[in-house]
Structure 1
Amino acid sequence: MSAFALAAEQPRLPSPYRNEADVVGELVSSLAGHLPDWAKVVSMASPWVEQVRAHPAPFWALETLLREFPISSNEGLALMRLAEALLRVPDVPTAIALTADQLGRGEFGGSLSATAIALSKKFLPDADGAGGLLHRLGAEAVVAATVRSIQLLGKQFVLGRTIQEAMGEADRARRSLRSLRFSYDMLGEGARTDADARRYQAAYLAAINAVASSSTSSDGISIKLSALCPRYEVLQRTRVSDELLPRLWQLIEKAAAANINLTIDAEEVERLELSLDLLDALARRIALQFPLWRGFGLAIQAYQTRALPVIEAVAAIARQYRLYFMVRLVKGAYWDAEIKRAQELGLTDYPVFTQKQHTDVSYLACANALLKQSDVIYPQFASHNAGTIAAILNMANAAGVSFELQRLHGMGEGIYREVLKVPRIVCRVYAPVGEHKDLLAYLVRRLLENGANSSFVHQLADPSLAPEDLLISPMTQLHVTATMPLPSDLFCDAMGGGRTNSVGLDLTDFYQRTLIRAAMENTHLTTCPESPDAQVDQAMVQLSEAFSVWRTVPVFERASILRRAADLLQAKLPVFCALLVKEAFKTLGDTVAEVREAVDFLRYYADQAEQLPLQGYEQQGRGVFVCISPWNFPLAIFTGQIAAALVTGNTVAAKPAEQTPYIACRMVALLHEAGIPQQVLIMLHGAGERIGAALVAHPLCAGVCFTGSTAVAQHINRVLAAKPGPVLPLIAETGGINAMLVDSTALPEQVVDAVIQSAFRSAGQRCSALRLLCVQDSIADQVLEMLSGAMQLLCVGDPADLATDVGPLIDDHAYNTVLSHVERLKRDARLICEVPLGSSLLNTTGHRFIAPVAFQIEHISQLGAEIFGPVLQVVRWTGEPEEVITQINALGYGLTMGIQSRIDSRAQRLAAAAHIGNVYVNRNMIGAVVGVQPFGGEGLSGTGPKAGGPWYLRRFVSSAAEDPCAHCVTVIQQRVQQAQTEFAAVKLPGPTGESNELRRRGRGLILLVDAEASAVTETESDKESGRESGRGARTNDETLRMTVAVAAALLAGNTVALQVASHQQDAARQMVDILIKAGVPRVAVQQRRLVDAAFVSHAITADNMPLAGVVLLSGETDAIRSMRQQLAQRGGAIVPVMTAQEACDPLQFYRFASEQTLTINTAAAGGNAALLAGGY
């Protein structure tokens, strides 16, 4: 093996997902006999606290500002978000909008700084408002002053804009405190492109050269590995070895030759083992070339549950190569992100401690371990906590070991002013260096750390807290009960109810990767024979016969079977992951997410089915449901459709995509194993135009659940409309031309991350994938340059390879279709970037690869059909973002959309204006989670209701609703109450650092029509007497149903166009009084109008008529069937059709509304303020 390469991968540490209580017990045991007398700790630290409080910071200092505006307050959040975003906004109008939006969050008043803010608000327009000239001039002045204030705030944390300036400031600081040392760090986000990495490397080299030329040999630099390698990831091990190691060695070589300290900063847990492998490779070469150098170090985070084993591993490497390392012990800076990641991935436990006192105990245990390893480790203790510092001094004095303390520049200065009065104590200051634009993320982290309620710095400023209470030993607080649920309990309530979260795999963990590797080796595909034509009729008859029994099985028994199936599938997760790789060509990361989604569907629908009767709805299955699923989610969507139909008492004919039958076959077998009778669920495999068409057209088909193309959904709708009998349900989820709107307040690095994931993950073969990126022109050059660089780093290849980012397309047809679009765009648009494909991929016979590619177009209107592959189109925008939303709405699709903006009110307003089912703010726009982000669109993107949402199961059932004729006003009053509860926005559970809200709103224009108004010719005597065929009684009943239907449509927020037979004209005009008497708001009633037959004819047949739904008020007749067929022949979106009975049914009330899920990454602006403010 070369002396300079990563060694073969091997586990150096235990699993990161151990029980927290067990780990804490081990830490406590390790401290037995080594913990100092805490009374002495309090005695030493109390005078420090008293002295700091006796000399409070000035009003402009950070601690004063945070005491006045803590991050748990609206005002604190506003200041934090301004600090994170304002300095990077290049255009004045957007900067004004951001400032107005954030300062409008809270009430500022009372103190000198607050009065200045309150005065500033008077000169600001409403967020995004134009304001007058005075407002405009005043607003520009306020923004300029705010920018300057943030720069001054940032200056408290940044030692200098350049390394020379920082070194000058360090020399000035040493004149008053000669025991200070410095470690310089170049500010900035982790690299996203190779150009970024080279720029950071050059900055680090310049810093080393500058420090080397200084007479102060005790100073050093700190480096961040993610800044030197944009793909510093466990699964990119080869690239890390080839790219990061040489760059890192160049820095080490320079530092070692000049005898300068160089410390590697700690980063996320998922990179920990890889960092140890890098340490081993570097140590091997340092031992050969610089064996006497004692300036190489790394940081270790005490909040990690594996912190003690890390120290042991580092010491073992040092001993192996006879080296001496510096180790900087920190508490850790990514705690909130680690908690969120564990919850999102459904991990078995957290890799970090969830309670602050546990981290504090870990810090003391790690300090003890470092002191014991002093023969190979020089301990460096970074802390601003007076109690921790005093404990360290006592422990080190007892051990007789040399060490140094460390603090961050701009933090802990008051405490360290007192600490450094202790003889022979030295302190190293971690000193960031960089321009204001590079400061933002770092500044926000410091604001969060200082502003957290449990932060020592935050509590130090509280004079009501006595020193002895502030300095309490963490060992006395270990009895505190955990409040944070495990990831598996994320959807459980305090009473033990709710569902268990699906468990994922962390593919960055060595032990969990072995499970996948074993499954890949031992799982094999077998052929799945196609079903003959004759089997369709046999299966449908068998399913119809089984329905009479299955419908009578109690719902709790059906739900129990689904939960049993979920447990079986969870246990077989690695096997199904392997099947998804081998048959659907999915990358391993995507397979884990898909199996989890299938498990979640089973458990969620089991819970929802049990709740339906509790909501007061008498319901039953409809019969034989035909479920037709796609190849791009051959397990999750296949399972979700079937589970919803089965648990509601239907029998199911399951037709999977012809490309992925074996996955479906295995899942059906698992459902049968769980307890679904063979005759209740039958899978039929074959081409869609043969098997699928026959199933839909079969007389025993009672409903269709379909996911696929818009064209096929429209064809199915036409087939169902031509059938005699009742209106059959069609639940269709189709594609979309999904857009992301980016304004100039967005962080370019976050935008690029979201775009890469949304557009190219799964090779773009997701219905939710990003197709159109709309970037504000003022930042477009910067974003597109970074995007191009990030695209070049994508790994296209074998989906079985863990390093693969983008796999192949599903088949030749998909490949040829996407390729033709790419060739067209190469002629008609400007190429931004195309990822090069290796020759091995171009010549392969097993897979068909399309290179991820991005094009710039001039106008949104240039978009053609959806391109179902890794193809992104980009448009620049100027003016108002609402204009962009209008153009996106005009496309007719409404599945997913992303918004990247720090202007909260703007994001809310754009989401409300968008005719989109799922809107994601400041994150990627794929990967909807069952019950968290109910998924489904509107317009050309689907019929609703949303899969994984609370209304989904209602479409699979019919109900025995009481006829409203007897008590019309009472029924309408019930609808008023129902609308207030069911149509109110609902907060959904989910991971920390994210808000999820399900919103309901009107669909648009609802046409209520009596087909007999055109089909029946009435005589004057008929109109007067109403005697023919008992018309008098019938007219009264129809009028009452009509009134309830109108009320339902209006209460859901729609506009109603009402056309009725001539004998109901008077009643239709008089219904206003009934509606208002029943409690329908007057403003809603005003959205009702009467229309004539000509309007109805035009609305039903004209493709450009924005018709959101039709209610057929008359009974089943040839005229109604004809009208249904005419509606189905319309181009564009499928128009939902309801009968009068359905329109009056409380269980079907939801059909008058559309749903929108709004997901906001609340941690996007630098961190999770709510979680940190909660007490960590």
Structure 2
Amino acid sequence: MFPLTLYFTDQQVKWNAAQLWNNIPAYYCADEATMESQLTELTAQLQLPPLRALVTDDIQQGALCCPIELKDADKLTGDEQIALTSLAERLLYLPDQNSITRFIEEKLTPANGQPFFERNSTAIQQTHTWKQAIRQQRITVSIQAHNIFSQLAERFDYPFIRTTLSDTVTRLRQRIIFSDSIPQISEIPENYAYSLHLLTEGVVTAEAARIALNRYLDAIKAISAQKPHCRATPSLSVKLSALTPRFALLKAPAVIEEVTQRLLHLLILARTENITITLEAEESCHVDLTLKVFENLLRSDLCCGWGGLGVTVQAYSKRALPILGWLNFLAQELQTDIPVRLVKGGYLDTEITRARQQGLADYPVYTRTEITDLSYLICAAYLLQDQCPRLTPQFASHNSNTLGQIVTLAEQSTKPIELQQQPGLGETLLTQRQNANSAVTQRVCIIIGSQAQLPPHLYRLLHNNLSVAPTSLSVNESAEADVSAEISAAAVMIDTQSQRQQLLKKVDAFRDQQWLAAPLINGEPVRSQPPEARFSPFNLSWQTGELFPSTPDDVREAYAVTRAGFTGWNRVSLSERVTIIRHFADLLEQHREELIALCIRETGKPLRDAIDELREAVELCRLYAAQALSRLSPQQLPPIAGEKQTLRYHGRGIFVCISPWSFPLAIGTGQVVAALLAGNSVIAKPANSTPLIAYRATQLLLDAGVARDAIALLPGSSESINESLLKDFRLSGISFTGSNQSAASITRLLAQREQPQPVPLITETSGLTVMIADYTALPEQIVRDAIEAAYSGTGQRGSALRVLYLPEETAEQLESMLTGAIMTLKTGNPDEPDTDLGPVIDNHALQALHGHIEHSRIHGRLIYEGELDTQHDSGYFVAPTLIRLHSIDELSEEHFGPILHIIRYQSDNLTRILEEINRTSYGLSLNILSQDNQTIDQICNLMRPASITIRRNQSTAHTHGQRFASRGLSGTGPKAGSPDYLLGFTQQTICSSDSDDNVYRV
């Protein structure tokens, strides 16, 4: 890692392309405190002006977001105008104009008005408009939005309020969007220098990508027709993730080639018409792809020497300066000018959330606004120095102080600069500065798009670019981050090309590895039966290892050993047991490449899913270790009549842990670790399909220090050993995860036991996980979340989405989008990093899923089934499938695989479908996609799931942050990761004694 200070010295001239490129990922998640120190050092070295030192009166007067002139404003108080504008801002996040109109008509009525205002008051007060009004002292901090609306409702009737609000929404949208169609480009005033931005987000279907490409082509033609009236060469911004639905590093190099070819098609026309193209900013995980595509284009005969292809760099990225250094080298090597648009950054919330989910050591972006501002200033100074003669700086910001500093820096440079802004956001400032400095060119960013395309752009614009206060982690968030850091598994980095290649190389080293599974009793493998060859479910001719199956004799021996071992293990101090389990978590991470390879080979999970399972296993170990210290330590109870009472937890005896094949490492490890921490000895019975992972994990448990006689492993067929395993008199408890049929079988066997004492049974079983979307949810969000929830893990996870309820009004469009999104998924060899879906676990699962698909086909319910070819004949592959139902009552059981069921509903029949879902008696997980808090409240109050997620993907729940639970047909209670989970493995003792005050009483 080269220090940032070297980019401002002659040293950078000595670096070659490879060194400069490799220094970019080195800063990917650099420590923020270290980065701040480097930036501060650079500020002093470059003698940059301190922050806010350049704010002058005339700049301060440049409004960032001027008040909207409301219809009938003379009738409204200032508070009422602000409240209506804030509500209008919230409504701009709805998916289309019809949704906005319907929302206003349904909610703003005498019956619904007051409850709506009260329930949504907090959300309204979180809008940029409200915060800006407080900043400008046009409204007080203490005032509540619902009180203003109550006053409004008393002074005016609801038709007036609805009309005024509708007009406000229109005016606010016009403030941001120039027009909703490309032909209206002709209405841009003459003598404007402008950059055209089409509102296009990352697409989810190939058809949407084709439409986006054609829109860009149409835009170039429209700009060309208007170009003679422009004051400077016009520009078009292009978003790469809009040109393909699979813009992800794991899809490289195919996606790089696909996007490069589509862009070349655009660039041929753009260069012919002398229109510059600028690649828009993407999320951090897409930076490598963006830069590789840019390099491919710049090295082409079409672009080399042109100077009309530019790129956007985000200053909040810790890689910003290294990226600029690499671009500088590239420009000078190819003798080609590169326009560089410098922005602050538009995905802060997304970056923070993703980094936390992935367990990254730090964030890829700066989390404090003042540090981002500092980075922006230093990047600007780099662009303006003489050592970057071929980088053409374009500064895009709506912050008056930042722009003032940029202009002052530019006055000390010989390079002309360009300032970019959006109409309605700071144009007064830019006009003043342009008049004062002829070397400053003002370029207006013209936004073209419909209401349906506005919400993502609006969020980035208002929440990230126009923050009214420094954006940073709160004290509570920082504390939570510290706790998460203690529990989180180390990130498995694959967001840059070098990281991905390193991981794949290490995983591939285990390609020819053969693993062993056998009964493991008293720390020794037992090989009393002939071995059975084990093969990968995606390649039935590829042997993964051998299994020596367990016998009833092995069961009896396991009980004898673990019964003797229970006493000693239960006496091991809680702190020592916790230390052992934490060491085990560390060993899992030390062997992560082997365990990832084994997970892929034995279960057929694609790379991303195998990584997620390993990380979940590690986090469960650390979470339970932390919970054991807090929940299982002796607890002082309230004293009674001078007595001191202490609650103590002990192990029950021998716990049998029966784990599923769907998560053999994560769930299997979690069950065993929970039982061991509680002081029990354990007999682990893994699923017959996945014994190799269980055996390797048990070996690591022993290596970590678990007593040899405290754990036994019995792999093999359940039919041969279940009766002797579950009827043994020494059994003290069972933890089971699997199907309802297996749970019922276990219950019957327990009922046949001759022993009088009951045996605790902790179950996590099947479920029909449901997602309900209403008309206020964005279609792209529905599709992305549904595809991820239904098909990740090949649909073979308990939390996988099974049923999606769609409003009748938008169902046709959404079904088409879902079909298109499924078409982009790759089903195949999980050894290949770009695979989305692997095989199902075995032939029984294959036949059951195919039977359900054929039944749906015969009855005309099949919407779409993906295609498979002869290459899939070597394994148990089921194509991703979409099926239509009329009612959830048609599903008599869970179909554990890549099948999603769609049910349409009328919005006014929401209560009926909630009752329908409750009738299933499942209680696993429910996801709600709605922007209407009243609808969310209604669903939450009437539904009986164990877990509810709102406006986020339910399949991304992780161990220590977003826990699942279960009840009804989905299980008996606390689920993996919940605070009370460990208590189910314990028995309790209350010790009462004289209080210390009575020790010497006679």
Bin for the TM-score computed over the shorter chain:
0.7 to 0.9
Identify if the C-alpha distance between structure 1 residues 76 and 593 changes in structure 2 by more than 3 Å, giving closer, same or farther.
farther
Alignment partner, residue 576 of structure 2:
557
> CA offsets per residue over residues 131-172 of structure 1, 9 Å max, x none?
xxxx9xx6676445433322211111112223343442343x
Change (3 A) 1:962 1:375: closer
- Matched with 2:740 is 710
Q: Does structure 2 retain, via aligned residues, the 8 Å contact 1:734–1:940?
A: yes
Structure 2 counterpart of 1:679, from 709, 712, 716: 709
The answer to whether residue 25 in structure 2 is matched with residue 14 in structure 1 is yes
Question: Letter of the aligned partner of 1:196 in structure 2?
Answer: A
Measure the CA separation in 1 of the matches of 2:158 and 2:818. 33
| Structure 2 residue aligned with 1:851 | 879
8 Å contact kept, 2:965–2:978: no
State which of 955, 970, 974 in structure 2 corresponds to 1:941.
970
Counterparts of 2:22 and 2:865 in 1: how far apart (Å)? Answer: 37
- The one-letter code matched in structure 2 to 1:364 is L
CA contact (8 A) 1:936 1:945 kept: yes
Query: Quick check: 1:160–1:169 contact (8 Å CA) kept in 2?
Result: no
Aligned to 1:201: 213
Distance of 1:330 and 1:582 partners within structure 2: 44
**Stretches of structure 1 lacking an aligned partner (at least 5 in a row):** 1-6, 126-134, 175-179, 457-479, 964-1176
Structure 1 residue aligned with 2:765, among 730, 734, 743? 734
Structure 2 residue 85 is matched with structure 1 residue 85: no
In structure 1, distance between residues paired with 2:623 and 2:153: 47
Whether the aligned pair in 2 keeps the contact of 1:384 and 1:415 (CA below 8 Å) is no
**8 Å contact kept, 2:621–2:670:** yes
| 1:818 matched residue in structure 2 | 849
Which AA in structure 2 matches 1:735?
S
CA deviations 1:593-638 (Å, max 9, x no partner) are 1111111111111122222334443221111000000111000000
Q: Quick check: 1:369 aligned with 2:379?
A: no
Q: Which residue matches 2:256?
A: 241
Given that residues 75 and 103 in structure 1 are in contact (C-alpha distance below 8 angstroms), is that contact kept between their aligned partners in structure 2? no
> In structure 2, what is the Cα distance between the partners aligned to 1:76 and 1:580?
53
* CA–CA separation in structure 1 for the residues paired with 2:587 and 2:374: 40
Structure 1 residues 50 and 937: CA distance shift in structure 2, 3 A:
closer
Paired residues for 1:268-417 under 5 Å? 268-285=283-300, 288-372=301-385, 373-417=387-431
Cα 1:655–1:237 shift into 2, 3 Å: same
Structure 2 residue 594 is matched with structure 1 residue 575: yes
**Are the aligned partners of 1:635 and 1:667 in contact in 2 as well (CA < 8 Å)?**
yes
**Contact 1:634-1:660 within 8 A present in 2 as well:** yes
Match of 2:58 in 1: 48
The 5-angstrom pairing of residues 1037-1116 of structure 1 reads none
SS at structure 2 position matched to 1:275: helix
- Once the two structures are TM-superposed, the CA of residue 396 in structure 1 deviates from its matched residue by 2.4
Is the aligned partner of 1:860 residue 2:880?
no
Provide the C-alpha distance between the structure 2 equivalents of 1:347 and 1:115, rounded to a whole number of angstroms: 39
1:667 to 697, 710, 731: 697
Secondary structure of the 2:176 match is coil
Q: Which of 494, 498, 506 pairs up with 1:519?
A: 506
Alignment of 1:465-476 (within 5 A): none
Letter of the 2:579 counterpart = S
- Counterparts in 2 of 1:58 and 1:553: CA distance versus 1, 3 Å: closer
Matched, 1:951 2:983: no
Corresponding residue of 2:522: none
User: Conserved in 2, the CA contact under 8 Å of 1:492 and 1:500?
Assistant: no
The alignment partner of 2:363 has SS state of coil
- Specify the code of the residue in structure 1 equivalent to 2:436: V
Residue 271 (structure 2) pairs with residue 256 (structure 1):
yes
Q: Which has the larger radius of gyration?
A: 1
- State the alpha-carbon separation in 2 of the partners of residues 625 and 112 from structure 1: 62
Counterpart contact for 1:265–1:298, Cα < 8 Å: yes
Partners of 2:981 and 2:502 lie apart in 1 by 35
Question: Could you say what secondary structure the match of 2:307 adopts?
Answer: coil
**Offset at 1:521?**
2.2
Q: Deviations over 1:1014-1057 (max 9, x none)?
A: xxxxxxxxxxxxxxxxxxxxxxxxxxxxxxxxxxxxxxxxxxxx
Q: Of 548, 571, 585, which aligns to 1:529?
A: 548
Find the counterpart in structure 2 of residue 974 from structure 1.
none
Question: What secondary structure is seen at the aligned counterpart in 1 of 2:401?
Answer: helix
- TM superposition shift of 1:199: 1.3
How far apart, CA to CA, are the structure 2 residues paired with 1:484 and 1:11?
36
User: Are the aligned partners of 2:399 and 2:466 in contact in 1 as well (CA < 8 Å)?
Assistant: no
Distance 1:150 1:862, change over 3 A: same
Is residue 662–residue 796 contact of structure 2 (8 Å, CA) maintained in 1? yes
Contact 2:370 2:470 in 1 (8 A): no
| CA positional deviation for 1:399 | 2.5
Task: Note if contact 2:398-2:465 (Cα within 8 Å) is conserved in structure 1.
Answer: no
Match of 1:585 in 2: 604
* 1:60-101 deviations in Å (ceiling 9; x for gaps): 499x9xx9999xx99998554322117455496655456656
Q: Secondary structure at the match of 1:338?
A: helix
SS at match of 1:938: coil
The yes-or-no answer on 1:771 pairing with 2:802 is yes
CA contact (8 A) 2:768 2:894 kept: yes
Tell me if structure 1 keeps the 8 A contact 2:853–2:862. no
Q: TM-score, normalised by structure 1?
A: 0.72
Query: Amino acid of the residue matched to residue 550 of structure 1?
Result: W
Determine the C-alpha separation between the residues in 2 that align with 1:931 and 1:823.
40
Q: Deviations over 1:790-837 (max 9, x none)?
A: 111001111111101111111111111111111111112422222222
Aligned pair 1:609/2:651, yes or no?
no
- Secondary structure in 1 aligned to 2:487? coil
SS at match of 1:156: helix
SS of residue matched to 1:603: helix
1:503 partnered with 2:481: no
Summarize deviations over 1:843-901 as a string: whole Å, max 9, x none. 3x2x2110001011222222232111101111100133221111011112111121111
Matched to 2:870, the amino acid is S
Task: Compute the displacement of 1:449 (Å).
Answer: 3.8
Corresponding residue for residue 671 of structure 2: 641
Quote the offset at 1:691 in angstroms.
2.5
Task: Tell me, yes or no, if structure 1 residue 871 matches structure 2 residue 899.
Answer: yes
1:837 is matched with: 868
Q: Deviations over 1:750-803 (max 9, x none)?
A: 000111011111111011111111111011111111111111100111111110
> For residues 836 and 409 of structure 1, do their structure 2 counterparts lie closer, same or farther at Cα, with a shift above 3 Å needed?
farther
Task: Return the letter of the residue paired with 1:149.
Answer: T
AA aligned opposite 1:794: L
Bigger drift between 351-360 and 754-763 goes to: 351-360
SS at match of 1:405: strand
Equivalent residues of 1:516, 1:578 under 8 A apart: no
| AA aligned opposite 2:200 | G
Q: 1:484 to 1:511 in 2, by over 3 A?
A: farther
Rounded Cα–Cα distance in structure 2 between residues aligned with 1:705 and 1:768:
19
Letter of the 2:881 counterpart = V
Output the CA distance in 1 between the equivalents of 2:280 and 2:45.
31
* Paired AA for residue 921 in structure 1: I
AA partner of residue 543 (structure 1): T
State the match for 1:1079 in structure 2. Answer: none
2:739–2:766 contact (8 Å) kept in structure 1? yes
> Residue 618 of structure 1 aligns to a residue in which SS?
strand
Indicate the larger mover: 195-204 or 90-99.
90-99
- Residue 558 of structure 2 is matched in structure 1 by 539
The 1:680/1:95 distance shift into structure 2, 3 A limit, reads farther
Give me the whole-angstrom Cα distance separating, in 1, the residues matched to 2:60 and 2:104: 42
Q: 1:899-1048 to 2 correspondence within 5 Å?
A: 899-961=928-990
2:199 paired with 1:187 = yes
SS of match in other structure, 1:893: coil
Question: Match for 2:612: what amino acid?
Answer: A
